[in-house]
Structure 1
Amino acid sequence: MTPLIQHSPHGIPLVLSPANGFPPLVYRALLDELTSLNQLQLWLAEHRPLWRNQQLMQPFNWQQLATDLIQQIEQQQLPPVILLGHSLGAVLGLMAARRRPDLFRQLILVDPVFFPAYKSHFLRWLPWRFKRTIPMIKKTLGRPERFADAHSAFKFHRRASAFRNLSDEGLQTYIEHGFEEVDSELQLRFGKSWEAAIYGSLPNVWPDLRQLETPTIAIRAQHSNTLALPQWQRWQRLKPQHQFVEFSGSEHLLPLTEPHRLADYLRPVLSQLVTAASA
């Protein structure tokens, strides 16, 4: 198991749990903004696909990654943490907190992957030969994993629709931390077979959400492709005690495309949490 990575040294622990396909240091612009909060200790969670020599688990489900997150937090023997999760990472935080509420002080879930229950049930029984034809999975499996150099990797991803609103600096950060040198080439750290398997095993989040007891802030991007308006409204009906915030004009990669805007919202929220924890 790869332990949590300590990013800043002192204060109330906050664990960043990133999206599918993204190492946590890709969020560097957001992390730099949050580092200014001196009483916040930042920890970064690398999900199992980023660990060395990890073969894809069969059968695979997201609860296995939630178990990894629980064990990573336990290993550091931290006091209850603030969990800042994005997309996949938000769902893993939800699952982990439902199972081990003692480990979590607060959840901040940014554009989690909440689909109708029938879709997860359908995917559970759909053979992989059919899953691989689903557009998102097909596109993922068709991506190259190796590039001759950083310039080639940057040029390819600059044309990709998923990164269209990411600044050049943000994309360069993705290339820097999303790839590693292997045999004089750059290879994707988060393998596409893992990424596709995660897309192909979307969980039914609603039972976990119903049982969740940890205080939670829910953040949705207005143009989200993972948290549609009906699911957002259902969440609000199920958990009216949660805090709900929608970022107008934003998309799913909000923490990467608009890190300063998200940080401006998070700073006073986190300052309040730090003050309450220190009282």
Structure 2
Amino acid sequence: MEMTWHHTPLPEGTAAAWHGPTLTHPTRPKLVFHHATAVGPRCYAPYLKALAQDYDVMALAMRPLWADAPPPDPKWGWDLFGDDLIHWIEATQEAPVLAVGHSIGAATLAMAATKRPELFKGLVLIEPSGTTRRQALLLGLLPYGMRLRLGPIKDALSSPTRWPSKEAAFADLRASKAFRRFDDQALHALLEGLLVPCDETVPQGTAEVALEYPRAWEAHLYASAPHTLPTLTRLSVSTEVIRGRPSLYMDASIEAKLKAKRPDFRFTHLTAHGHMMPLEAPIPVAEATRAALARLAA
């Protein structure tokens, strides 16, 4: 199944969205997908193609992947991506839509739905990320430049972005603890979406491939991570949550508080998989997503 890029002018840049083949069957619903930090829609190809068995899938790339987007600004928070999603839906979709988000994509999808609930028929939030209230307060007390020197954020800025070959990039990722749960097939699929050919400014022979997602944006989003529980609890749109193993990206205390405040949310736990589950295990996660979407659409 081939997927193609579509471009839409928005107030602050030209949005890019990866579309599956549009079918004209009148009962085939449309589905919007919002991705995680440091990856783009192409990284989710096996997962999105599995969803496309039942839906016309459109995956909006966040502004770090737009050709004409400005660089990150310390004043910007995650809600910027929620606003981009609202503008794109208004420009391209017949609302309300079903929508799925992963990690920051789930958190910013929730932000968009709290602002404009009439645009959404139902939400599936996969591992919605964010900080605890205490973590957000501590981040807010630090100057922005100091936040960029914190361990995980500093590591993101100092990690490799170019490799002499796809094989070298694969070897680097395979050695990383972050990808220890990925089998080789899933890791190769991820790399196909992560990498682009190096541009002509790189001296010939030094590097062949590079990351598409800018490290500066990745670090900025980690440094500006908000406490998202209040947003999640305010949702008025029908919502299902898919969770993996406990992780730093969605603290167990946040899940417990969300369950207490929103007993109407249905939770599906796939504890064999981690935070990156749609990339790590695309087929079982797609099956769980399709089951959730079917309940929301009923």
What's the TM-score, normalizing by structure 2? Answer: 0.86
Assess, with a 3 A threshold, how the Cα gap between structure 1 residues 58 and 228 changes in structure 2: closer, same or farther: closer
Name the structure 2 match of 1:49: 64
Q: Does 1:179 align with 2:195?
A: yes
Take 1:9 and 1:58, find their aligned partners in 2: how far apart are those partners?
38
Tell me, yes or no, if the aligned pair for 1:117 and 1:204 is still in contact at 8 Å.
yes
Aligned counterpart in structure 2 of residue 119 of structure 1, from 135, 141, 146: 135
**Aligned counterparts, 1:173-212, within 5 A:** 173-181=189-197, 182-183=199-200, 185-212=208-235
Displacement of 1:272 after TM fit? 4.3
**Aligned counterparts, 1:212-251, within 5 A:** 212-251=235-274
Take 2:92 and 2:168, find their aligned partners in 1: how far apart are those partners?
38
Which range moves more in the overlay, 264-273 or 198-207? 264-273
Aligned residue type for 1:176: E
Aligned residue type for 1:261: P
Name the structure 1 match of 2:148: 132
Take 1:268 and 1:230, find their aligned partners in 2: how far apart are those partners?
26
Tell me, yes or no, if the aligned pair for 1:4 and 1:76 is still in contact at 8 Å.
no
Tell me, yes or no, if the aligned pair for 2:15 and 2:61 is still in contact at 8 Å.
yes
Q: Specify every segment of 5 or more residues in structure 1 that has no aligned partner in the other structure, as ranges.
A: none
**Aligned counterparts, 1:1-279, within 5 A:** 1-10=14-23, 11-37=28-54, 40-54=55-69, 55-181=71-197, 182-183=199-200, 185-274=208-297, 276=298
Take 1:273 and 1:215, find their aligned partners in 2: how far apart are those partners?
7
Tell me, yes or no, if the aligned pair for 2:139 and 2:223 is still in contact at 8 Å.
yes
Take 1:58 and 1:228, find their aligned partners in 2: how far apart are those partners?
25
Greater fraction helix:
1
How many corresponding residue pairs?
273
Could you list the per-position Cα deviations for residues 91-133 of structure 1 after superposition, in whole angstroms to 9, with x for gaps in the alignment? 0100000001111111100111132112112212311332123
Name the structure 1 match of 2:4: none
Take 2:192 and 2:88, find their aligned partners in 1: how far apart are those partners?
24
Q: How high is the sequence identity, in percent, across the aligned residues? A: 29
RMSD: 1.7
